[in-house]
Chains A and B, each alone.
Chain A
């Protein structure tokens, strides 16, 4: 009974978001079923689209996994998009400057991506713990810097031979591309990296002293200090790990999707990661399915304007409305649990 109720509770916001989507589609005079089918078919309808969806899934999952760490530490790492971009720039540097066989290049670009994201997040972290700059503002500022840096590199030092273009750099040498099999447009490497990251974050947060201490730091800095935890070190470690995972996502964006550096290579996947981790209630185990849903909608919605008179941004609207509904439901539950809390105390006392 209780399980049924909690299932109903978590499905209510999904139903609400769907209702809004249906209403919007009816308003523009199209069939909701046709639109839904266009999204699903566009996301997983054939091998190549499924490959695109899986590639998006890997980067969304990595960004959200990194955010699971920073949220656990009580940090609003809104600068995650900038960390994805910093990882993409660092990986691009390695891809352009180093010539080596593919396996070596894969390892080097991923390492560079991790380092780039970690350093970018560390900057936001240092601004917070040393400069008392809220991580939301520091992170946003650094994201603008990262976007500008990618644009500068593309029209400046890394510009294409003879063509002044903001469409991106020359494609990387083939050795620096993430390897794929046959027609499938997704690399096994990126899937392995994403799955490994999700597993590591899950174990780290659930089964280790580090994860427990991070939760303590995130809940109450004063109490955690009295447990002898060096708060600053844990906050910075959370920034670097979270930023590193976001940086991995950036490396995969440029070596497995664009195969070159484009302006703002994050493509909003860092920001989408925030929505995913909010929907997942900061729990690593829910990231994979929610990220898959987001990936299907992101890739599938691009089919909407081709098949129906609907703009692709409908996908974004549905996603955002869903997040709003879930957050609303969460706030409502928090109010209710304040009452339940008292009952629980009485139960414990009894």
Chain B
């Protein structure tokens, strides 16, 4: 079963998620698809598996043109996708999950399904009890169930999106062994990842994507340096930062523990001093977001303490910490930062802590017009936040940062901005250091991390695996560490 993609295009508004992608995947191979967050891998795989319709381009399966119109249609063609969070029905039993999507009449043959499930489990060495509720299964077991279901439905091309997130080491070995077996039987396996080590271990060929395009192919084994360079681009010259004298500690985190479903922060210690900029690197969901949310009070700590300027604020919620000079700039601009339907003027009035009870709308509108000009926002005082483009939404959020902050927490502060705007934004942010503001930010942009941080913490699976001095680190070393390759980088 060979698969060919020809000139696939997919746009989301102005964002070119897939920009002319051509790719051939031979039957019986384990094909890796590498790229950092936002490179367009998931979009491409969702097109292939029928979740999205492409804006242009062709998909050929064994030389025959297909147009998967839905996941159901895709699996009928033999293309099945295993999602990062397995799409299973938690309150159903294992066998009912299998039967739910089965084609055919309305009669359910549980006995036959149970028997076939047993045969497949035996073949791959899985231990799935057909009668247990999926809710009680581990993420790894849910993944096994989903894989069995796709194969049972006749999948001949199997797409796995970041399948090793949240599963145990033995389950990972079992998964890889299964994938090798399937490939040996002639199945095409597409393994989507940004973990170099796993691609190294498993795949025979690798395609690297960056910014919606294919930047290169490689036969494995291949030196990791080459893959890193393809993923992140060649190292950019890093300008020196204006040096600044660091002040007293602003943020003191002592043995912070936060437990989440797929990930835990465990006994994390961190100290940030006034005027210091600390960058958080790592794959999306490796713990950076959890740390930022715990610092902001949006996520409560399960253990340990967080102090600002020596005052213990572990129990304070976001409003309480905001009053103490902590502000958070989220990545989901319209989801958790701005408010759909409210105008720019109304946002600026909301964000101003000195707004009187009776709002003088004429004056507020004038002030909003000034803020809009001063921050180069493309919009009018009466435009609603959802009418702005992503970059302008970000400028609006930045314009609402309060003066005299002690600690500024940010996720992807310049995502969606062009280089010039990003430089301007960082100029404004770094100027706050002279007032003693400490900055803690997460970013997927390695250049941004290296250029503006004093220190960089690299997260991998909830742990800080390295703490780097940004002055003596380069893109390559950082790329290795983000991929979880500690030894090679040192």
Which chain A residues have a beta carbon within 8 Å of chain B's beta carbons? 207-210, 212-213, 215-216, 219-220, 222-230, 341, 344-345, 348-349
Check B319–A225 contact: CB distance below 8 A: yes
Check A348–B383 contact: CB distance below 8 A: yes
Interface hub of A213, A216, A229 (most chain B Cβ within 10 A): A216
Check A226–B337 contact: CB distance below 8 A: yes
Interface presence of B276 (CB below 8 A) = no
Check A228–B353 contact: CB distance below 8 A: yes
Residue of A nearest to B386 (CB): A341
Check A219–B342 contact: CB distance below 8 A: yes
Q: List, in ascending order, chain A residues with CB within 8 A of B335's CB.
A: 220, 222-223
Partner among B319, B341, B355, B380 whose Cβ is within 8 Å of the Cβ of A348: B380
What are the 10 A-B residue pairs with the smallest beta carbon separation, nearest first? A222-B336, A228-B322, A228-B319, A219-B339, A223-B339, A220-B339, A209-B355, A345-B387, A348-B387, A348-B383
Residue of A nearest to B388 (CB): A348
Q: List, in ascending order, chain A residues with CB within 8 A of B356's CB.
A: 209
Knowing A207-B358, A209-B359, A213-B350, the reply to whether A220 touches B340 (Cβ < 8 A) is yes
Taken together as a complex, chains A and B put the C-alpha atoms of A215 and B349 apart, in Å, by 13
Check B336–A223 contact: CB distance below 8 A: yes
Knowing A216-B342, A223-B337, A348-B379, the reply to whether A208 touches B358 (Cβ < 8 A) is yes
Check B337–A210 contact: CB distance below 8 A: no
Check B387–A227 contact: CB distance below 8 A: no
Interface presence of B419 (CB below 8 A) = no
Interface hub of A210, A213, A226, A227 (most chain B Cβ within 10 A): A226
Interface residues of B in 307-354 (CB under 8 A from A): 318-319, 322-323, 328, 330, 335-342, 346, 349-351, 353
Q: List, in ascending order, chain A residues with CB within 8 A of B358's CB.
A: 207-209
Knowing A220-B336, A223-B339, A226-B337, the reply to whether A209 touches B378 (Cβ < 8 A) is no
Taken together as a complex, chains A and B put the C-alpha atoms of A50 and B197 apart, in Å, by 83
Knowing A207-B358, A209-B356, A223-B336, the reply to whether A215 touches B342 (Cβ < 8 A) is yes
Interface presence of B183 (CB below 8 A) = no
Q: List, in ascending order, chain A residues with CB within 8 A of B350's CB.
A: 212-213, 216, 227, 229
> Mind listing 26 A-B residue pairs with CB under 8 Å?
A207-B358, A207-B359, A207-B361, A208-B358, A208-B359, A209-B356, A212-B350, A213-B350, A215-B342, A216-B339, A216-B342, A219-B339, A220-B340, A222-B335, A223-B337, A224-B339, A226-B318, A226-B328, A226-B330, A226-B336, A228-B353, A229-B319, A229-B350, A348-B379, A348-B380, A348-B387
Interface hub of A209, A216, A228, A229 (most chain B Cβ within 10 A): A228
Interface presence of B298 (CB below 8 A) = yes
Residue of A nearest to B322 (CB): A228
Interface hub of B298, B328, B336, B357 (most chain A Cβ within 10 A): B336
Partner among A213, A341, A349 whose Cβ is within 8 Å of the Cβ of B389: A349
| Min C-beta distance of A163 to chain B, whole Å | 53
Taken together as a complex, chains A and B put the C-alpha atoms of A188 and B174 apart, in Å, by 81
Q: List, in ascending order, chain B residues with CB within 8 A of A209's CB.
A: 349, 355-359
| Min C-beta distance of A339 to chain B, whole Å | 14
Q: List, in ascending order, chain B residues with CB within 8 A of A213's CB.
A: 350
Taken together as a complex, chains A and B put the C-alpha atoms of A225 and B338 apart, in Å, by 11
Q: List, in ascending order, chain A residues with CB within 8 A of B298's CB.
A: 225-226
| Min C-beta distance of A74 to chain B, whole Å | 11
Check B342–A349 contact: CB distance below 8 A: no
Interface hub of B358, B378, B379, B387 (most chain A Cβ within 10 A): B387
| Min C-beta distance of B231 to chain A, whole Å | 32
| Min C-beta distance of B344 to chain A, whole Å | 10
Q: List, in ascending order, chain A residues with CB within 8 A of B383's CB.
A: 344, 348
Taken together as a complex, chains A and B put the C-alpha atoms of A212 and B380 apart, in Å, by 19
Q: List, in ascending order, chain A residues with CB within 8 A of B361's CB.
A: 207
Taken together as a complex, chains A and B put the C-alpha atoms of A314 and B335 apart, in Å, by 45
| Min C-beta distance of A341 to chain B, whole Å | 7
Residue of B nearest to A229 (CB): B319
Taken together as a complex, chains A and B put the C-alpha atoms of A224 and B385 apart, in Å, by 14
| Min C-beta distance of A213 to chain B, whole Å | 7
Interface residues of B in 373-403 (CB under 8 A from A): 378-380, 383, 386-389
Taken together as a complex, chains A and B put the C-alpha atoms of A190 and B345 apart, in Å, by 37
| Min C-beta distance of B317 to chain A, whole Å | 8
